[in-house]
A and B are shown apart, each in its own frame.
Chain A
Amino acid sequence: MDKVIIANNLSLSYSNDETIINKASFSINSGSFIFITGASGSGKSTLLKSLYGALKPKEGSLIVGGVELHGVSGSKLNFLRKHIGIVFQDYKLVKEWTIEKNIMLPLIINGYEKSITQNQVESLLKHVRLKHQAGKYPMELSGGEQQRVAMARALSHNPILILADEPTGNLDDYSSQLIWNLLEGANTQLKTTVIVVTHHIPEAMGVAYKHFHIEFGSIHEVN
C-alpha cells in the first residue's frame, strides 16, 4: 500500500533545543484514518507542524506525499501544502476576510474556476451549518463556529491529506458529530488520508482507524 507519510528516526525541537519528539519512526498508509492522542504539551501540535513543513526535522527524515521535508522550502513546499488541508488548533482564520472568503482560500490558491469555487463553498457552508453566516467576519462568530469554518476551509479543495488539531475541542456533541461525519465522509468517499489530534476518540466511528499515542517524546501505536 502507498505510504503518504514516512518518518525515520525523526526528532523535533524548537529553537531552544528542547527535544519534543525523539527519534520516532512510523509510517501512515494512504487513505487511512489516524487518531493521535497524548497529554497536553506532549507534542501533538508539534508533530502536525512538522507534517506540513512549518517545523523542519531536527534529525532523521520525514517524507510527506513523496516530498522530503528536511530543509524543504519555496515552491516545493508550496506544492505539498496545496494538497494538504489543515485545521489549526487556534483556527488561523484571516480576520479581515468574510467566512466565505476564508473557506475559499485553498480553492483560490489551487486556481479553481470561479463557478466551481462558488458551488464548493456553498455546499460546505451548508455542511457545517453556517449558511447564514457567510458574509460575517471571524470575530463575529463563536469559537465553535470559527472551528467549523476552519474545518470547511480544510476540506474545500479536496486535499489528499487532512491534518486536524483538536477539531472538536470547542464544540458541543451535536457539532462534534457533524465534524466526525465530514472527516469520515472525506476518508471513505474521496480516500483522503485523515490525521486527527484529539483528547476523545468518538465511541461510534464509522470507519476503521489507527491510534497513535505520544508520550515522553516517543510515538507508539495503540491497539
Chain B
Amino acid sequence: MKSIKNHLSLVIALLSILFSIQIFTIVDRSVIAYKDNLATNYSLVVVSNSALSEKTIIEADERINATIELSPDDVIQRLNTGMSTKNMELLKHTLPKFYKVKLKHYPSPGEIESVTKKLLANQSVTKVENFSQSHDTIYKLLLLFKNVVSLFAVSIFVITTLLIFKELRIWEFKHSERMSIMALFGAPTWLRSAVLFRLAITDALITSAVAFGLFVYMSSSPWILKQFEDIGIHIILFDPLYDFAILAGVAIFLSILLATLIVLGHKEEV
C-alpha cells in the first residue's frame, strides 16, 4: 500500500502529460490528413481558346500537380436542342477548351491568386475559375482549427510545467530528510540520490507501460475507429514503436530532470 502511494503521484502527473502529448499528435495527424483530403478534392478550371498541352499547364507553376482536359460533350449535350451532327461537330471545335488543374497541396488564398495569375499569363487562357469564395471559408476553418490546437498545446505545456513543479515540491519535502541524514553519515551525492533516481526511473517506466496499454487499447477501440471513419480520415492513432519511443523518452527525461533538480537544489540544514 505504502509503496503504491509512493509511485502514484508522479505516475499520474507523467501519465497526464503523455496523454496530452499523444492527443496532440493525433490532432496534428488529423489536420494533416484532412488537408490532404482537401487537396485531392480541390481543383481549378482553366478555360482556353486553343488546346494546351499538359506540359504547358504543369510548367506554369511548380505547385501544379496534374491536369486533365474536361470533355466538352457534357456542355454540348445540354445545348443539344435538335442540332445536326455536322453543326454539333462545328460547335465542338469553336467551343473553348476546359482543363481541370490539381495542386500538390492545399493552397492558401495567396497561393491560389498567384497560381491563377501564372495561368492567365498564357495568351490563350481566357478565364481561370478558382472557386476562391468557398475555398476561403474552408481554409479559414482549417486555420481556426489549427489555432485552437496550438492553444491547446500551449495550455498543456503550462499545465505540465505546473504539475512538474508541484511534484518537485512534494519530492523535495519527501526526500530531503533522508538525503540530509545520509549526508550526516558521509554518503556521497550519488548514494544520497540513488533512491531518488531509482524511484524516478521506475515511475517513468511504470508510466510508459500504462500509457502503452492505454493507447493500444484506445487505438483499437471500435467506437474511436468509427469516429475517424465517419469524418473520412485515416491516420495512425498510436504507433507502438515510434510514438511509444517518444512517450517513454519524455517520461524518462522529465523524471530524471525532476530528480536532478532536487539533488542540485538540496541544501544541508543546520
Contacts and interface: CB of A to CB of B under 8 A. Distances in A.
B70 interface: no
A114 to B, nearest CB: 16
B270 A54 contact: yes
Interface in B166-203: 177-178, 180-188, 191
Contacts, number: 50
A14 B184 contact: no
B186 A109 contact: yes
A109 B182 contact: yes
B269 to A, nearest CB: 8
B268 interface: yes
A66 to B, nearest CB: 15
A49 interface: yes
Nearest to A92: B181
Interface size class of A (residues with CB under 8 A): 20 to 34
A89 to B, nearest CB: 13
Nearest to A156: B185
Contact of B181 (A14, A83, A94): A94
Interface stretch (A2-10, A73-81, A182-190, A191-199): A73-81
A75 B268 CA distance: 15
Given A49-B270, A94-B177, A95-B177, A78 B188 contact: yes
A173 interface: no
A80 B186 contact: yes
B227 to A, nearest CB: 46
Contacts of A210: none
The 6 closest A-B pairs by CB, nearest first: A81-B186, A82-B186, A78-B186, A109-B187, A94-B178, A106-B185
5 contacts: A55-B270, A92-B181, A97-B178, A109-B182, A109-B186
Interface of B: 177-178, 180-188, 191, 268, 270
